[in-house]
Structure 1
Amino acid sequence: MPAVGSSGRPGVAPAPAARPSSPVRQIAEVSLETATARPTGVSELDRVLGGGLVPGVVVLLAGEPGVGKSTLLLEVAARRARDGATVLYVTGEESAGQVRLRAERTGGLAPHLFLSATGDLEEVAAHVEAVDPELLVVDSVQTVGTATADGTPGGVSQVRTVTTALVALAKQRDLPIVLIGHVTKDGAVAGPRTLEHLVDVVLSFEGERHSPLRLVRGLKNRFGATDEVGCFEMNDAGIAEVTDPSGLFTGGLDHPVAGQALTVAMEGKRPMMAEVQALIAHRSGDTPARRVVSDLDSGRVAKIIAVLQERCRLRLHDKDVFVATVGGMKLREPSADLAVAIAIASAFHNQAVRSGLVAIGEVGLGGEVRRVVALERRLAEAGRLGIDRAIVPPGEVRTPQGLHAASAQDLLGGLQLTGLIAGHPQDL
């Protein structure tokens, strides 16, 4: 009778067991030494990363062209190199001379910073073997190609193959790699959807061309939270960290004007003071009344205008209404509703609200003012900046020393607290 192997087929000997590439250990015995985050030297970026770059991590930094991705990562590379780390910066977007010029302008020349202008994956791997860097920056993943995949660099197959190879290289050498990626017109990361799944961290680098403000948000992070935001400011010397960003989004705190209101928004875990401005103008001729909104949710602003008309009797149907934020701050959360309403009412009456006043709360269709998340943290930020009065939703709330908070049951009561509408349910 023929022998039967473990494969279940007669006469076939069992295949030898494959040698494991890594030993099996109890989880408590695994060393944390190779999983400790190392600071990049840019504290605002470290905030989003969860402390820094973990050995072997692959980070994708995505953003629109011209937003400053290359400038930011060249700054990171230079700071790590100045701290004594060997850094390799690979660019397929620019020539080596162009990167050198930008490094001179931004103060990014460092003795341990190596540069290669190549778009060939095999050359990148050879440079890593020769230089043995402690950090690799690739600008960008869409410009690196390989002969082992079909298509041209930037294509779906090429991007997937290149990213897979770089991830394997990072894990093999415990080498942190930061990839720059492009985004599509609708803001999604360009390339195959698997790109975001292959990497460990996905960061979004946001900013408007007309504004110096830049924000780094965490979209995915296997080693930390995704609710942190890093703030930067573009200037003639490159890019600078903004550790206290509230001042970028407010103006005229000591000299209020009609149509101005302050609120505190949450960017992740970070409270930021923001200023809303409104302007009311008579419409011209028989043209429909216009609603022009910048950096706010136009749907929410339209709802607030409707509530002001129906619940507070403000005649806005025949007026052009313009609403915007200061400094390019984007306010999408409902907590800004009350400040938007106060700014519009202030512009309508051509009457400024008192200085040192902040308004925080969501406005419902019935005119009610609703509570928002992290209210006490928002008030603490307002108090730190010298705000001494606040209009908040009803309910108990702890306030910092020197700040008095008055609650408004509804929008009408909130406007009465500001003095924009007759009636004072409670003194501010």
Structure 2
Amino acid sequence: MKEKKRFICQQCGAVTPKWMGRCPECDSWNSIVEEKVLPVEKVSGVYKSPLNLKDIIYSEDERILTSIDELDRVLGGGIVPGSLVLVGGDPGIGKSTLMLQICGNLSKKTSVLYVSGEESEKQIKLRADRLGIKDGALYILAENDMNIIEMAIKELRPDVAIIDSIQTVYFPELSSGPGSVSQIREATVKCLRIAKETGSAIFIIGHVTKEGSLAGPKLLEHMVDSVLYFEGERYHSYRLLRSVKNRFGSTNEIGIFEMRDKGLVEVSSPSKYLLSGKPKDTAGSAVVCVLEGTRPLLVEVQALVSRSGFNLPRRQTSGIDYNRAALLIAVLEKKLGFMLAQEDIFINVAGGIKIEEPGADLAVELAVASSFKNRPVMEDTVIIGEVGLAGEVRAVSHVEKRVQEAAKLGFSKAIIPYENAIDMQKSPKIKIEGIKNVKEAVEIGLK
């Protein structure tokens, strides 16, 4: 029988009839590799009768709590039995440390299996000792063969199993090496089937590419029940665990941790930390309350406007989209007459937080205006609002929750969109200023 071959893109998983320099699906170069096609044995399945929805019994009490409140919030209230969760993040960010801490907490009341394809049993033991994990029903397996991992899970039947990482696991039957599209896809499918058959919740750790996306085909994210991203700078002590997909809870929830010598520690009041060290009576600093999932966070937006010594001034941002910042700078130039064409402008979000929502637009405008005019923003003032190209300030969602968070931390004034101010109930703890455009915000917000 003639051996069949196929060509697969290692970026998107597309199959082509012949080798090509560029993938026709994702346009990536030199990503198509040749793989052998192995004959698939036909297995007759067992017929399962459909169930009426009213006959299916489920309770939220079935969720497994990890004793890490930040993680339980991101998961939607705990681990769902039989679920498959993908955890991604940059190398050295703390994925393995967090997973081992989960094992240590869960092993006190349930059985846990930690499978590592990257470390030996002794190396894991060394890390567990550093984290203070000693007792409990925690089992360690250093293995790469997916068939052996499957047998171990079916024999032990743990409540939770963790595979670190999916890129190191392989099937001997496949000709491609570990980390290839075929190996990752087949290993994930196998993990999904094991989770549904045994009822064990399985966490798989995935590496990310230099672009920040999970390595392997995009199909990987569609197959799992939840996708968690571990974010943060390696040289910052704080880490963000973000949910980008969750079939059992809210998406875009975040949990905040601090990396210490004894592992990751929950941050109970992230807003208080993010504002620590904020300078007083200093131009170029503004505070905004952004919404991450259902959680309001107060963060500091900093701007530095300085006369440029070059013909082409620099524009640099950290923590905020560069194109969005350029748009907001153009609004200041056009609508307020600020001469920024010959100014270097640097914008930074303190604490390593990345802001994506438009509710921070007004704070960026006031921070830049404050630095340009060398006039500080009013003390104890939080600024919330989306800015349009006409210079108008548009309403944002959940403004009451944002203002309440600011009031809890001692802020006395909130500059918010006029439409939000009309609909919002008066708060005795904080003064509300409703503004219609950026010009009004600059006049009210700067000293």
TM-score by length of 2: 0.85
Structure-2 change in CA distance of 1:318 and 1:34 (3 Å): closer
Aligned residue type for 1:334: P
Q: Counterparts of 1:19 and 1:290 in 2: how far apart (Å)?
A: 63
Matched, 1:405 2:432: yes
After TM superposition, the structure 1 = structure 2 runs for residues 11-410 of structure 1, keeping only pairs within 5 Å, are 21-32=47-58, 36-82=62-108, 84-252=109-277, 255-284=280-309, 286-395=310-419, 396=422, 397-410=424-437
Residue pair 1:260, 1:278 contacting (<8 A) in 2 also: yes
Aligned equivalent of 1:414: 441
Q: Counterparts of 2:339 and 2:77 in 1: how far apart (Å)?
A: 52
SS of the residue corresponding to residue 317 of structure 1 reads coil
SS of the residue corresponding to residue 141 of structure 1 reads coil
Aligned equivalent of 1:423: none
How far the C-alpha of 1:103 sits from its partner, in A, is 1.3
Query: Relative to structure 2, which stretch is displaced further, 185-194 or 354-363?
Result: 185-194
How far the C-alpha of 1:227 sits from its partner, in A, is 3.3
Q: Counterparts of 1:364 and 1:19 in 2: how far apart (Å)?
A: 57
SS of the residue corresponding to residue 107 of structure 2 reads helix
Aligned residue type for 1:66: G
Structure-2 change in CA distance of 1:400 and 1:93 (3 Å): farther
Q: Counterparts of 2:209 and 2:412 in 1: how far apart (Å)?
A: 44
Structure-2 change in CA distance of 1:297 and 1:254 (3 Å): closer
Residue pair 1:96, 1:116 contacting (<8 A) in 2 also: yes
Structure-2 change in CA distance of 1:379 and 1:35 (3 Å): closer
Structure-2 change in CA distance of 1:147 and 1:358 (3 Å): same
Residue pair 1:121, 1:162 contacting (<8 A) in 2 also: yes
SS of the residue corresponding to residue 405 of structure 1 reads strand
Q: Deviations over 1:4-30 (max 9, x none)?
A: xxxxxxxxxxxxxx9955444432122
Q: Deviations over 1:58-89 (max 9, x none)?
A: 1111112111111111111110012x211110
Q: Counterparts of 1:193 and 1:341 in 2: how far apart (Å)?
A: 37
Aligned residue type for 1:68: G
Q: Deviations over 1:225-256 (max 9, x none)?
A: 21322222212221111232112322345834
How far the C-alpha of 1:150 sits from its partner, in A, is 2.9
Residue pair 1:307, 1:367 contacting (<8 A) in 2 also: yes
Q: Counterparts of 1:203 and 1:102 in 2: how far apart (Å)?
A: 23
Structure-2 change in CA distance of 1:126 and 1:305 (3 Å): same
SS of the residue corresponding to residue 406 of structure 2 reads helix
SS of the residue corresponding to residue 329 of structure 1 reads coil
Q: Deviations over 1:308-345 (max 9, x none)?
A: 22222222222211111110111222111111111112
SS of the residue corresponding to residue 167 of structure 2 reads helix
Residue pair 1:35, 1:54 contacting (<8 A) in 2 also: no
Q: Counterparts of 1:357 and 1:147 in 2: how far apart (Å)?
A: 61
TM-score by length of 1: 0.88
Residue pair 2:278, 2:300 contacting (<8 A) in 1 also: no
SS of the residue corresponding to residue 390 of structure 1 reads strand
Q: Counterparts of 1:26 and 1:338 in 2: how far apart (Å)?
A: 51
Q: Counterparts of 1:23 and 1:34 in 2: how far apart (Å)?
A: 25
Residue pair 1:253, 1:355 contacting (<8 A) in 2 also: no
How far the C-alpha of 1:180 sits from its partner, in A, is 0.5
Residue pair 1:383, 1:400 contacting (<8 A) in 2 also: no
Q: Deviations over 1:75-133 (max 9, x none)?
A: 11110012x21111010011222222221222233331111111111221232244332
How far the C-alpha of 1:390 sits from its partner, in A, is 1.0
Residue pair 1:392, 1:406 contacting (<8 A) in 2 also: yes
Q: Counterparts of 1:312 and 1:367 in 2: how far apart (Å)?
A: 9
Structure-2 change in CA distance of 1:109 and 1:391 (3 Å): same
Q: Counterparts of 2:192 and 2:52 in 1: how far apart (Å)?
A: 25
Q: Counterparts of 1:312 and 1:56 in 2: how far apart (Å)?
A: 57
Q: How many residues align?
A: 401
Structure-2 change in CA distance of 1:409 and 1:28 (3 Å): same
Provide structure 2 residue ranges, at least 5 long, that are not aligned to the other structure: 1-43
Aligned equivalent of 1:7: none
Provide structure 1 residue ranges, at least 5 long, that are not aligned to the other structure: 1-17, 421-428
Q: Counterparts of 1:33 and 1:77 in 2: how far apart (Å)?
A: 23
Structure-2 change in CA distance of 1:363 and 1:198 (3 Å): closer
